[in-house]
Amino acid sequence: MAKKAEPNLPTRVTPALSVPSYLTQYEGYEADMAEQNASMGEYVIVPRMKIIQGTSHENLTRDFGVGAVIFSPGNALVVKHDSTTATNKSDTFTFNPLFQYTEFMKWKDLKDKDEETPMILDRSFDRTGELAIRARDPKRRFERYGPLDQNTRQPKFQARYIEFLNFLGFIRGDHPLANTPCAISFSRGEFSTGKNFISAVQMRKTPIFTQIWDFNSAFKSRGTERKWWGWEYSPAEEPNISNDEFQSMREQHLGLKKAFNDKLLQVDHTDFDQDEAAEPDGSGQF
């Protein structure tokens, strides 16, 4: 079956690349950029940080190694895990969160290979809506759909409702991806870690956009079967932004807040796949 033509999608924020001067210093550049920003700048879609799992695609495990953190999409390395050492943690990076929001999604079954069916079947910010209610209820978190299985006489596929805790910000310090907008997202096995991070942010009693944190990936397990790589965090050596940065950070925070209120803010989850779906839920459920 022919694949449907893709609609005009909003742009995503991707890691900055070096740009030759001839692309920015020609007559008409300002006008071209103004026109482009007007047509493409309505939405704010940022990449998220993805931890490479042992079950990730072989290209990712080969190129980056299990435990590494990358930008996704784009596959730009954030930090690596040195598998030759005894530690079960990655290197550390410094993150400045600017805004936090919760999103609820309905995902199609990974076994559903229909290319015309999007991976994200529905998404919502509404904490009282149907998606939120089902995502937070282990008994209603799954929903069967699709053609009937001739053996079980039940729909073949199983959609899943998932709650995501999203923190939007940027990497600080001497890093190739410094100042690039990105997101750290907590769900399923890492959902409780995300809730703990929210508590840690609140206990600082300062606005989220003024706080600086160190993050790394770490190997985690529950029992003998539940094993995955998740997040660890701690206050950075310099845990607060400077006075000179305050106004700029506040403006960025307010800009993200407006995009959220206008329902124009998205974290890019387009490749949330088998390796992450295999993590255990914060509730202890798979």
Tens-digit pLDDT profile for residues 55-113: 888 888 888 988 999 998 888 999 998 766 667 888 999 999 999 999 999 999 988 88
Higher pLDDT, 138 or 3: 138
The residue-averaged pLDDT of 107-125 equals 89
Give the pLDDT score at 19. 66
DSSP 195: H
**Residue written as tokens 């387009």?**
270
Higher pLDDT, 254 or 7: 254
Asked if the structure places residue 22 within a domain, the reply is: no
Asked if the structure places residue 12 within a domain, the reply is: no
Ramachandran region, residue 153 (left: φ > 0; alpha: ψ -120 to 50; beta: rest): left
Prediction pTM value = 0.80
Asked if the structure places residue 21 within a domain, the reply is: no
The residue-averaged pLDDT of 211-231 equals 89
Domain count, the chain: 1
Asked if the structure places residue 99 within a domain, the reply is: yes
> Does residue 37 carry a pLDDT above 70?
no
Which of 4-18, 30-44, 55-69, 184-198 shows the highest mean pLDDT? 184-198
Handedness of CA 116, 121, 125, 126 (dihedral sign): positive
Interval 245-258: pLDDT, tens? 999 999 999 999 99
Asked if the structure places residue 176 within a domain, the reply is: yes
Banded model confidence at residue 286, pLDDT cuts 50, 70, 90 = very low
Asked if the structure places residue 191 within a domain, the reply is: yes
Q: How far is Cα of residue 253 from the mean position of the Cα atoms in its chain?
A: 18
Asked if the structure places residue 31 within a domain, the reply is: no
Give the pLDDT score at 226. 81
Distance in angstroms (rounded) separating the CA atoms of residues 28 and 26: 6
The residue-averaged pLDDT of 156-161 equals 93
Using an 8 Å Cβ cutoff, are 75 and 59 in contact? no
Containing structural domain, residue 151: 51-277
The residue-averaged pLDDT of 214-224 equals 88
Distance in angstroms (rounded) separating the CA atoms of residues 220 and 41: 39
Asked if the structure places residue 59 within a domain, the reply is: yes
Tell me the residue ranges of DSSP E strands in the chain: 44-46, 48-51, 69-72, 76-79, 93-107, 120-124, 142-148, 155-172, 181-186, 211-222, 226-240, 265-267
